[in-house]
Structure 1
């Protein structure tokens, strides 16, 4: 994804670019220190993501955003929390309050992936489930393709993302993880489990078999299984 940073503070550019440099698939295009520079850049380049400050000279962040007929994914980066509601009314992806952590930044990037998929019509060569998530585990950033995930299990304050070759423990809520997954490819079967539909081998009574794993089916989640038979 190609991105630009629109902010009048040099230190903000350094922090955001440093975070982006640590993640794969993010391609830097240009530093823009006001909205006019951003407009000129958008006229020349196809941009997927804008990291947008609000309090800038010449033209404020949301004023600039309202001038864009087909804006790319917008992540607001600001010190002012009072404009969050207006931001979401303008269909921004996320609203980051400065100073924001790397973990919070990763959550915003993962939301961009979801938004991209919702706007892409399926084609024979692009499957909706073919996306990736960035997971922070053991002081590393791990990119996981959602098509490789077998299931996700909540364990205390952590979740365990299980693939065919790996188990990754992440400090995250299972509800937050569910919101990042393609809805056509995953379903929740228990308060502590999310499974990938494509990897289900058998459903027997109140349990699901995926390879050598046995996943329970909770009473309140049985209706979710109806989507398998449509």
Structure 2
């Protein structure tokens, strides 16, 4: 479970974030604070994994508050002021959500935050040149739902016009998310682009024959410009 704290002086902002997080069962709210001083008191008594932090708050601004924290958790900034984005990234915030933000943009921020955090943790624990997946899963939009996709169940992804088809062990999901966006969520050591329209899981390959790869009952093409990727596997 991943615990978060919302820090924002607008109650409606709290409700929007809470509603979005209800769709993500691995997230759990630890508290609500409506100014930086409440947040300081809360964090002195409680530990959280990340903060949703507004910038323009009374008494003490969000970034000034952030500078007071000796060991800040991960930060997702939520604000109506885009002009402070550069300062936010200088303070190593994970993402900068400009209000009003959609659920898709919110979900991208969550995936980015914990992909990055887990990658750093794995890199510190592993010997050089060894790689592990950044996280075990990601969330995929499809059929008016958000599906949790575990990397171990993923066979391959196919571009399908303005959509993608995500093939799993026991089902196929059609998603409006672009293949290029999904590629950014995949741990590179375990997935490979074989064609402009296909990304496959390396450990699901049964056979490679000519310009085709057999995965389960499917035959995936190898594009001319991607042949070198396949040669490196052999």
Give yes or no for TM over 0.5. yes
Tell me the number of residue pairs that the alignment of Structure 1 and Structure 2 aligns.
226
Alignment gaps of 5+ in structure 1:
none
Q: How much does 1:58 deviate?
A: 2.2
CA contact under 8 A between 1:150 and 1:196: conserved in structure 2?
yes
CA contact under 8 A between 2:158 and 2:164: conserved in structure 1?
yes
What does residue 108 of structure 2 align with? Answer: 107
1:208 aligns to 2:213 (yes or no): yes
What does residue 137 of structure 1 align with? Answer: 142
Q: TM-score when scaled to structure 1?
A: 0.90
1:219 aligns to 2:220 (yes or no): no
Q: TM-score when scaled to structure 2?
A: 0.89
Paired with 1:36 and 1:51, the residues of 2 have a C-alpha distance of 15
Paired with 1:178 and 1:139, the residues of 2 have a C-alpha distance of 21
What does residue 129 of structure 2 align with? Answer: none
Paired with 2:41 and 2:56, the residues of 1 have a C-alpha distance of 19
Q: 1:112-155: CA deviations, max 9, x gaps? A: 231132122257xxx63651211221111211112211001111
1:65 aligns to 2:66 (yes or no): yes
CA contact under 8 A between 1:190 and 1:218: conserved in structure 2?
yes
State the superposition RMSD in angstroms. 1.8
Q: How much does 1:199 deviate?
A: 0.9
2:164 paired residue among 156, 159, 167: 159
CA shift in 2, pair 1:63/1:220, >3 Å? farther
Q: How much does 1:101 deviate?
A: 1.3
Paired with 2:158 and 2:208, the residues of 1 have a C-alpha distance of 18
Q: 1:66-96: CA deviations, max 9, x gaps? A: 3333322211111111122222232222211
CA contact under 8 A between 1:3 and 1:26: conserved in structure 2?
yes
Q: Secondary structure at the match of 1:22?
A: coil
CA shift in 2, pair 1:190/1:20, >3 Å? same
CA contact under 8 A between 2:192 and 2:202: conserved in structure 1?
yes
What does residue 119 of structure 2 align with? Answer: 118
Moved over 4 A (4+): none
What does residue 188 of structure 1 align with? Answer: 193
CA shift in 2, pair 1:129/1:227, >3 Å? farther
With 13-22 and 216-225 compared, the bigger mean Cα shift is at 216-225
CA contact under 8 A between 1:161 and 1:167: conserved in structure 2?
yes
Q: Secondary structure at the match of 1:118?
A: helix
Q: Secondary structure at the match of 2:188?
A: coil
